[in-house]
């Protein structure tokens, strides 16, 4: 049995100089971003014909999510084109200030209910006092107005006041995907990871077809629909940008561990920038480890620029070769060589039914994969 523990990664906005790795970090918390790892292994062997070479794992007594291919449910309302109303949100919604669903650099998310219909929703309250801040939030509204996909959280309404803008969105109750990575009582298998990555890919594919770059993909920005199934929705389009091929786009923001090399170098970004982040997420889901995390932010950024990562950790011992190949085709410094979202969805790791059958069998019988079967 393997237990991995990772301290919560604090969200940081970073600005980089193009000549060096010097940066200014604006912390939402002064807590140092670190990761600690601890694991225990218990091996059980059985004697008898045909069992000498097999490795058995003690049956787990922790919670395992339902494994099924049930499609992610759409929002409980039709897609809308929203503009911010200059009236108080309390005229239309009851906002539960005591029930905080999440928070970050922007403010907080509360559970709310529409008075007229009783529809349960989420109210994202964003502190925005100056014109520049309000324009940034209105960019998020504009982006969400263009995105109509089951794996992308949907916008329902918006309100603007002197000091903030409130986005009323689809409500899901399963919590962040990050929480499943760090939950010692959740047995996150490779098949679970395949299910999550496939859905994230579909969401990214749709965004890219709409010429939208997310630019802040990470486990904290992926929500589970409920606490049992493996259905997800991508959230937080606050840093998203419309991609215009003729207008070279550079960005100087993001969360250090998930930044692509071109962001660190303040070079042009495009669709492959999101795919790098997907590779980091896949690595984390499979192992509980962050591939580029250093002792401090500068070391993390140096690791990214050097593309310094490998499969040598023991956590990769039982990971399939197909999974390793998938990651290897995303964590490539030259962005033109990375898989597109469409190509990623066709990769054997996400499509090979024989592989999936073997992985499901290992879970069903509490077997770890044999090297010869990979």
pLDDT band of residue 303 (cuts 50, 70, 90) is very high
CATH class of the domain at 89-170 = alpha beta
H-only helix segments in the chain: 131-145, 177-182, 190-209, 261-264, 271-287, 297-305, 321-328, 341-345, 348-351, 353-364
Q: How far is CA 34 from CA 122, 131, 174, 282, 346, in A?
A: 30, 35, 25, 19, 35
Query: Rounded to 5, what percent of the chain is helix, strand, coil?
Result: 30, 20, 50
Question: Can you count the helices (H) and strands (E) in the chain?
Answer: 10, 13
C-alpha–C-alpha distance, residues 327 and 133, integer Å: 36
C-alpha–C-alpha distance, residues 132 and 143, integer Å: 17
Scanning the structure block, which residue is given the tokens 């085709």? 329
Interval 327-358: pLDDT, tens: 999 999 999 999 999 999 999 999 999 999 99
3-state secondary structure string across 120-146: EEEEEEEECCCHHHHHHHHHHHHHHHC
Interval 95-114: pLDDT, tens: 999 999 988 777 899 999 99
As annotated, the active-site residues are 216
Interval 189-212: pLDDT, tens: 999 999 999 999 999 999 999 999
Reported pTM: 0.81
Taking residues 233-248, report their average pLDDT: 93
CATH 1.10.510.10 fits 12-70+174-373, yes or no: yes
124 is in an annotated binding site: yes
- Classify residue 327 as exposed, middle or buried by CB count within 10 Å of its CB (0-12, 13-18, 19+): buried
Q: Are 309 and 294 in contact (CB under 8 A)?
A: no
3-state secondary structure at position 369: coil
Q: Give buried/exposed letters for 157-182 (b at 16+ CB in 10 A, else e).
A: bbbbeeebbbbbbbbbebebbbbbbb
15: β partners: 24
End-to-end CA distance of the chain: 21
Interval 23-54: pLDDT, tens: 333 223 323 333 333 333 333 333 333 433 33
C-alpha–C-alpha distance, residues 284 and 307, integer Å: 16
What mean pLDDT value characterizes the chain?
82
Domain boundaries, the chain: 12-70+174-373, 89-170
C-alpha–C-alpha distance, residues 197 and 234, integer Å: 11
Q: Are 218 and 285 in contact (CB under 8 A)?
A: no
pLDDT at site 80: 96
Q: Are 315 and 288 in contact (CB under 8 A)?
A: yes
């Amino acid at each position: 049995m393997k237990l991995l523990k990772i301290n919560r990664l604090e969200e940081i906005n970073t600005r980089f100089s193009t000549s060096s790795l010097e940066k200014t970090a604006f912390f939402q918390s002064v807590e140092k971003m670190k990761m600690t790892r601890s694991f225990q292994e218990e091996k059980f062997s059985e004697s008898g014909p045909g069992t000498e070479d097999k490795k058995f794992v003690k049956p787990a007594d922790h919670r395992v999510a339902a494994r099924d291919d049930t499609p992610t449910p759409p929002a409980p309302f039709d897609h809308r084109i929203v503009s911010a109303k200059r009236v108080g949100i309390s005229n239309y919604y009851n906002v539960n200030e005591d029930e905080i669903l999440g928070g970050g650099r922007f403010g907080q998310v509360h559970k709310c209910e529409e008075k007229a219909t009783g529809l349960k929703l989420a109210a994202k309250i964003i502190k925005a006092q100056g014109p520049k801040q309000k324009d940034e939030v209105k960019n998020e509204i504009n982006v969400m107005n263009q995105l109509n996909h089951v794996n992308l959280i949907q916008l329902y309404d918006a309100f603007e006041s002197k000091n903030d803008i409130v986005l009323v969105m689809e409500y899901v109750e399963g919590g962040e995907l990050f929480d499943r990575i760090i939950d010692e009582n959740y047995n996150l298998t490779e098949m679970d990871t395949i299910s999550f990555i496939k859905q994230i890919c579909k969401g990214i594919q749709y965004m890219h077809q709409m010429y939208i770059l997310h630019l802040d993909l990470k486990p904290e920005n992926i929500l589970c629909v409920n606490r049992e199934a493996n259905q997800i929705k991508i959230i937080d389009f606050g840093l998203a940008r419309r991609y215009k091929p003729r207008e070279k786009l550079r960005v100087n923001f993001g969360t250090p561990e998930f930044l692509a090399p071109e962001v660190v170098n303040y070079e042009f970004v495009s669709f492959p920038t999101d795919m790098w982040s997907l590779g980091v997420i896949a690595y984390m889901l499979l192992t509980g480890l962050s591939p580029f995390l250093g002792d401090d932010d500068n070391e993390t950024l140096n690791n990214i620029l050097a593309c310094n990562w490998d499969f040598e950790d023991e956590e990769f011992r039982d990971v399939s070769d197909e999974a390793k190949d998938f990651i290897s085709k995303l964590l490539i410094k030259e962005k033109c060589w990375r898989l597109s979202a469409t190509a990623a969805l066709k990769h054997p790791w996400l499509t090979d039914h024989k592989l999936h059958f073997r992985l499901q069998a290992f879970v069903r019988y509490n077997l770890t994969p044999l090297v010869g079967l990979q």
